[in-house]
């Protein structure tokens, strides 16, 4: 178990670092289309949209709602943690099995599912499926990058350290060196909501009515992930609220960005990747890069 735990922490760190690189890539100035002679052949696979302001009025409303939810949840951190730690609640077999499964589906499931969708889309030439897999993975990595920084800086103790008694156990910077003090915000929750937001926004582009079907299902699943982390005494209620905010914004903004910047550097590489037979019954990833 210890070796698995170390592997899981190392994998989480690598994902977070990749996410930070993705954050830097997205927020840095993009090269203009005119500067690339090969850009016309490496575009976003679905129809692009006119570039909109990065932050819209709707985003401000969402930010206010999530900020309010995080602040409102804070006074209930202790009460919620203690309720979930009750012997009767912890002994509930349905909650035990369900909470574990939704967490696995989120991590590492989100990366596996995203990669599989992208691979299937590239092999079968289903552009929308490839978009769904890749942009969902982008959103997850972006959310994880932001979350990792906040976890490290804030250094909040996890509920199990104090049996749910001390939600104000902060040690600034300690989250970078000890995962027990990386409670705020919830990484699993930000991952789940990033995937939910990306899938909802991506499918809405080519099936607008799906919003009322896909959206509730995806966000309900993401909410279940946040509750499961509280059930396992890994996060306080306010950790989950902020994780949901980071994930939702990551999913929305990444999909908006990649479709509004058809020549972005990430998609130029990823969408030029092909899956080809290796001649021995397997496959290889081939990347087509423009010549200097």
Whether residue 14 is contained in a domain is answered as: no
Half-sphere exposure (Cβ direction) of 136: Cα atoms closer than 13 Å: 27
Whether residue 38 is contained in a domain is answered as: no
Whether residue 213 is contained in a domain is answered as: yes
Strand (E) or helix (H) holding 283:
strand 283-287
Tens digits of residue pLDDT in 164-216: 999 999 999 999 999 999 999 999 999 999 999 999 999 998 888 888 999 99
CATH at 229? 1.20.144
Whether residue 271 is contained in a domain is answered as: yes
Whether residue 117 is contained in a domain is answered as: yes
Residue 275, strand partner residues: 285
> Cβ of 110: how many Cβ atoms within 10 Å?
26
Whether residue 33 is contained in a domain is answered as: no
> Cβ of 112: how many Cβ atoms within 10 Å?
11
pLDDT category, 257, cuts 50, 70, 90? confident
Query: Mean pLDDT, to the nearest integer, of 74-79?
Result: 95
Say how many domains are in the chain.
1
**Whole-prediction pTM value?**
0.77
Whether residue 3 is contained in a domain is answered as: no
Tens digits of residue pLDDT in 96-140: 899 999 999 998 889 899 989 988 998 998 888 988 998 999 999
By residue range, what is the domain housing residue 101? Answer: 57-287
Residue 220 has pLDDT above 90, yes or no: yes
Whether residue 244 is contained in a domain is answered as: yes
Tens digits of residue pLDDT in 153-174: 999 999 999 999 999 999 999 9
Asked if the peptide bond before residue 185 counts as cis, ω within 30 degrees of 0, the response is yes
Q: What is the C-alpha to C-alpha distance for residues 186 and 12, in angstroms, rounded to an integer?
A: 13
Q: What is the C-alpha to C-alpha distance for residues 99 and 228, in angstroms, rounded to an integer?
A: 5
- Nearest 5°: CA angle at 227, between 223 and 231? 165
Strand (E) or helix (H) holding 274:
strand 273-277
């Amino acid at each position: 178990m210890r070796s698995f735990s170390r592997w899981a922490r190392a994998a989480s760190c690598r994902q977070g670092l990749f996410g930070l690189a993705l954050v830097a890539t997205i927020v840095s100035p993009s090269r203009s289309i005119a500067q690339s002679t090969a850009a016309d052949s490496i575009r976003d696979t679905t129809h692009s949209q006119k570039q909109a302001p990065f932050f819209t009025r709707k985003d401000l409303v969402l930010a206010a709602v999530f900020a309010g939810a995080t602040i409102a949840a804070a006074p209930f951190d202790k009460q919620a943690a203690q309720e979930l730690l009750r012997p009767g609640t912890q002994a509930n077999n349905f909650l035990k099995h369900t909470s574990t499964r939704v967490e696995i589906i989120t991590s590492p499931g989100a990366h596996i599912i995203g990669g599989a969708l992208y691979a299937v889309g590239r092999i079968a030439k289903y552009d929308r499926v490839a978009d769904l897999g890749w942009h969902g993975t982008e959103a997850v990595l972006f959310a994880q990058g932001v979350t990792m920084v906040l976890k490290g800086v804030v250094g909040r103790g996890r509920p199990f350290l104090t049996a749910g008694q001390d939600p104000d156990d902060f040690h600034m910077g300690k989250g970078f060196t000890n995962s027990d003090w990386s409670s705020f915000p919830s990484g699993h929750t930000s991952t789940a909501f990033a995937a939910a937001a990306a899938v909802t926004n991506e499918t809405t582009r080519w099936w607008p009515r799906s919003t009322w079907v896909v959206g509730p299902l995806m966000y309900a699943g993401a909410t279940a992930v946040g509750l499961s982390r509280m059930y396992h005494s890994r996060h306080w209620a306010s950790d989950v609220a902020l994780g949901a905010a980071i994930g939702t914004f990551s999913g929305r903004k990444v999909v908006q960005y990649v479709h509004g910047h058809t020549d972005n550097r990430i998609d130029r590489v990823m969408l030029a990747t092909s899956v080809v037979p290796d001649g021995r019954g397997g496959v290889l990833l081939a990347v087509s890069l423009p010549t200097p």
